[in-house]
A = this chain, B = another copy of it.
Amino acid sequence: MSQSPSTSTADSGPFGVTAPAGFRAAGVPAGLKSTGARDVAVVVNDGPKKAAAAVFTSNRVAAAPVHWSRQVVSDGRADVVVLNSGGANACTGPEGFGNTHRTAEHVADALGVSAADTIVCSTGLIGVQLPMDKLIPGVDAAVAALGAGGENDGGAAAAAAIMTTDSVSKQSGFAGTGYSIGAMAKGAGMLAPGLATMLVVITTDADVEPAALDAALREATRVSFDRTDSDGCMSTNDTVVLMASGASGTAPEPAEFSAGLTAVCTDLAKQLITDAEGAGHDIAIRTFNAASEADAELVGRAVARSNLFKTAIFGQDPNWGRILSAVGTTSAAFEPDRLNVTINGVTVCRGGGVGDDRDLVDLTGRDVSVEIDLDAGAAEATIWTNDLTHEYVHENSAYSS
């Protein structure tokens, strides 16, 4: 890795989906959001290569654009991604699928490409039809803004257009040897495994074949987005798209490319957790000395999904009993009387019983580290989650999403 990935606050290095050569993007307001903010985006791969890979939600109730885009990317090629906020187009039946199809046809015609190479992503409320009378003119406006140099032109505008309850837009990037990777993401709720609720578009000017792109993307998402579990709720619309233009002329060393891609995905995953609805603490649950990586992931996820643990962290209470009671619900290999738990550096539970003084734990900061020692092997995994707060309850009881 030649440098660490940039984050949305960094001002150096490649950054956003238009940083790699061969890509244009735009984001415009089309009236889908009642606020008048940007809500339609396009990201175009101008090539010369049009390699692509994508992963989607494993939710069996998948949105129309997920069904459409799975088919599009199945041949390893995508020329453009069109995205909208302000409506998920999920549980909308044949009419909803028709609207996705029509959107793809429209943007493809405007750009002179094939609808069969056009990925569609939607996010917003489930169970309502998209206002096509606003979306179609929005697509035209986004295409018109591409490269026009105005405020709607470029990766930053596209990143803004896909926000829903996000409080900030999310971008990242990575500078490889002779190529770069850029990315944008949205997501602040319904963040859970088998993809956190989110739309992610990643671009690169590296020259990578579709099969290698797909392998690198699956490995990167496995240890980043798939280990993000904010509220245990899996979306119907999650999509991560990776497009490679080959415009740099560089065919990267596979290990470096994979590491760079993983760094970008991990950076975005952490940005998603930090901006999760109503979160007051960002919690990293590292399970180590596990018999297998799967066991470590299982244990971390069980703790991440415990509302009692999450409310305790909100209350700055190092309540390790709630951690052990969650660990005890799993099938992971461990002996209850050999478990150790360390919270922010204090080993509050040792040998399954009382350890160091829990009053020594300082939970006033934003970041919380929970380390669970299973004493059963050498594998480990980290799950990222949030606390459960009044603000989470407020946002999700007041906002129909």
Which of A's residues lie within 8 Å of B, judged by CB? Answer: 58-62, 88, 90-93, 96, 125-129, 189-190, 194, 231-236, 305-308, 311-312, 314-315, 317, 319-322, 324-330, 334, 336-337, 339, 349, 351-354, 388-390, 392-394, 396-398, 400-401
Query: A355's closest neighbor in chain B, by CB?
Result: B127
CA–CA, A308 and B191, complex, Å: 11
CA–CA, A300 and B353, complex, Å: 35
This chain: how many copies in the complex? 2
Contacts of A61 in B (CB 8 A): 324-325, 327-328, 336, 339, 352
CA–CA, A362 and B42, complex, Å: 41
Contacts of A125 in B (CB 8 A): 321
- When the two chains form their complex, are residues A325 and B93 in contact, meaning their CB atoms are under 8 A apart? no
Contacts of A60 in B (CB 8 A): 327-330, 334, 336
Q: A91-B324, A394-B390 are in contact. Are A319 and B353 (CB under 8 A)?
A: no
- When the two chains form their complex, are residues A321 and B90 in contact, meaning their CB atoms are under 8 A apart? yes
Given contacts A232-B306, A307-B392, A392-B393, 9 further A-B contacts (CB under 8 A): A58-B329, A59-B329, A61-B336, A90-B321, A90-B324, A93-B337, A125-B321, A311-B396, A388-B393
Query: A354's closest neighbor in chain B, by CB?
Result: B127
Query: A307's closest neighbor in chain B, by CB?
Result: B231
Contacts of A189 in B (CB 8 A): 308
- When the two chains form their complex, are residues A389 and B396 in contact, meaning their CB atoms are under 8 A apart? no
- When the two chains form their complex, are residues A321 and B91 in contact, meaning their CB atoms are under 8 A apart? yes
- When the two chains form their complex, are residues B321 and A88 in contact, meaning their CB atoms are under 8 A apart? yes
- When the two chains form their complex, are residues A93 and B306 in contact, meaning their CB atoms are under 8 A apart? no
How distant is A358 from chain B, measured CB to nearest CB, in Å? Answer: 8
Contacts of A306 in B (CB 8 A): 232-233
Q: A92-B353, A125-B321, A236-B324 are in contact. Are A308 and B393 (CB under 8 A)?
A: no
